[in-house]
Amino acid sequence: AGAGGGNVLFVCLGNICRSPTAEAVFSSVVEREGYAGDFLVDSCGTGGGSSDWYRPGGSSYHEGEPADARMAAAAAARGVRLTSRSRPLAPTDIDTFNHIVCMDPDNSAAVLRACAAWDAAGRGAGDLAARAEPKIKMMADFLSEAGGFSGYTAVPDPYYGGPQGFETVLDLLDDASAGLLAAVLREEAAGGPGGGG
């Protein structure tokens, strides 16, 4: 699909709860609205709590694992199938995706920290951090007024909470996905992030 305008990457900490669910929910909204062929949608994590995940030889917790079983079950009850396997953000993601949609501010900070480290190490084509920054968005920024989620500035991590946390994630992602799609389509019509590319 190349670096097309509709390429959306969802990012959370471990890529087993929030971002794979965002990937699946957003994909279903894209399909429902008739844009399925125009979008590359994926998700990744920022190490899952491992501090060296973006360094050579570093490890990313949960890498290769399917989505959290509790999240998958909550999603399945709403007809959403979580099919992705956990992977960490990679330098190539910065140029593959036009929209890097983070679940909370820690995720976006981790993306930029990794890009700065990759830039310093000469991985990628240089200036990854500068290229990533205008593409980063917060999923909570796309929540609708009508959805009743005005207090949310992030999609909270449900990993250590009870069942309601997974339902809240689904409610938030369901609501924000329509707003995100509208924003991406608007941005593409205007010529991409920052008016360029």
pLDDT value for 21:
98
Catalytically annotated residue among 18, 102, 104, 115 = 18
Residue position matching structure tokens 């998958």:
72
Query: Residue 186 carries which DSSP code?
Result: H
Does residue 18 carry a catalytic annotation?
A: yes
Length of the chain: 197
Does pTM top 0.85 for this prediction? yes
Catalytically annotated residue among 42, 157, 174, 175 = 157
- C-alpha to C-alpha distance for 37 and 154, rounded to whole angstroms: 29
Q: DSSP for 71-110?
A: HHHHHHTTT-----B--B--TTHHHH-SEEEESSHHHHHH
Catalytically annotated residue among 12, 17, 102, 115 = 12
pLDDT value for 192:
60
Average pLDDT by stretches of 10, the chain with 197 residues? 71 98 97 92 96 93 96 97 96 96 98 95 84 97 92 95 96 97 90 52
pLDDT value for 5:
67
Does residue 68 carry a catalytic annotation?
A: no
Is residue 56 within 8 A of residue 121, CB to CB? The reply is yes
Does residue 32 carry a catalytic annotation?
A: no
- C-alpha to C-alpha distance for 53 and 46, rounded to whole angstroms: 7
